[in-house]
Amino acid sequence: MEYDIAIVGGGPAGLTTGIYAARSKLTAIIFDSGASQIAEALTIENYPGFKHVSGEELLAKMRKQAELAGVKIADELIIDILKDTDYTLLSTSGKNYTAKSIILAMGATHNAGIKGEVDFIGRGVSYCAICDGIFFRDRVVAVIGGGNTAIEEAIFLAQHAKKVYLICKNLNADPALQDKAIENPKIEISLDKRVVEITGDKMVGGITMMDYKNRERMNLSLDGVFITTSIPVNQLAKKLGLETGNGGYLITDHQQKTNIKGIFSAGDITGGLKQVVVACSEGAIAAMAAYDYIKG
């Protein structure tokens, strides 16, 4: 069977695309390899309609809604997409699928590979200041990174936290943003440093840093660590020849169209504000744009 829409990625973006596609009477299939970032969120408090919800629960509800709407969900990893008149998707299951249009919603990965990082996710290690900053009121935290996102997060966190360390090799954010961080009395910038370990008991208690110049190690007591690394899962997109911008994020227009006709993209893989509500919104827009494309 040929589907109208094949969606690669079953996180909030892909599932919302599926719901909108099915409600527009399009045949849709979602492929998912089961690594949605939302599942790592212990509590989500900024998704409208839910005061507190765990990421896992919200994801399960979205998935159920997509299935009830009539979307087929295949727990399979897509390894290649071939373009002819339509598209053929190759899965690790050995099966091939064809579709008239494609939505790429493969998300991003945040893991910085620091020793102890994974052990403390949700217990002091966070990847999102906007989501979790409020839990660190009057606490001491560190932001790892020296780019725009890191500095924006440090400035945001300084509104809640008692002290914010910004730890990086060097600052490479916009100069105006750097000045804001330098001028903020709550932010202390620590250059030429690499975080080698996150330590603690039940919760984060501190970090061990190494100096790039003299390789000396030093410990810092902390209540929270914010990691700003974010790498888009763009390998399939690159193979297809899709345009990427800063940091490898896919470039789309206001209808989530990529530079290749019939291919749309939504969610964290397109960069911008990486939040569930944004991923859902882009997924809805992508579904409607794909509808217009299919119906000509």
Ligand X SMILES: Cc1cc2nc3c(=O)[nH]c(=O)nc-3n(C[C@H](O)[C@H](O)[C@H](O)COP(=O)(O)OP(=O)(O)OC[C@H]3O[C@@H](n4cnc5c(N)ncnc54)[C@H](O)[C@@H]3O)c2cc1C
Chain residues in the site for ligand X (CB under 6 A):
8-14, 31-38, 40-41, 44, 46-47, 77-78, 105-107, 110, 121, 127-128, 131, 233, 236, 267-269, 274-277, 279
CB of 33 to ligand X, least distance (A): 4
CB of 113 to ligand X, least distance (A): 14
CB of 261 to ligand X, least distance (A): 21
Provide the strand spans (E) within the chain: 2-8, 28-31, 72-74, 78-83, 87-91, 96-104, 108-109, 125-126, 140-144, 163-167, 187-190, 193-200, 204-211, 217-221, 224-227, 231-232, 263-265
3-state secondary structure 168-180: CCCCCCCHHHHHH
Minimum CB distance to ligand X smaller for 13 or for 181: 13
Nearest to 148 by CA among 166, 136, 161: 166
Q: Helix, strand, coil: what percent of the chain each, to 5? A: 30, 30, 40
Minimum CB distance to ligand X smaller for 171 or for 285: 285
CB of 219 to ligand X, least distance (A): 25
CB of 112 to ligand X, least distance (A): 12
Minimum CB distance to ligand X smaller for 88 or for 190: 88
Nearest-angstrom CA–CA distance, 110 and 37 = 8
Minimum CB distance to ligand X smaller for 91 or for 208: 91
Please state the φ and ψ torsions of residue 271, each to the nearest 5 degrees.
Answer: 80, -155
Contact of 258 with 264, CB cutoff 8 Å: yes
Minimum CB distance to ligand X smaller for 14 or for 146: 14
CB of 8 to ligand X, least distance (A): 5
Q: Angle at the Cα of 37 (from 35 to 39), degrees rounded to 5?
A: 80
Contact of 169 with 193, CB cutoff 8 Å: yes
Minimum CB distance to ligand X smaller for 193 or for 258: 258
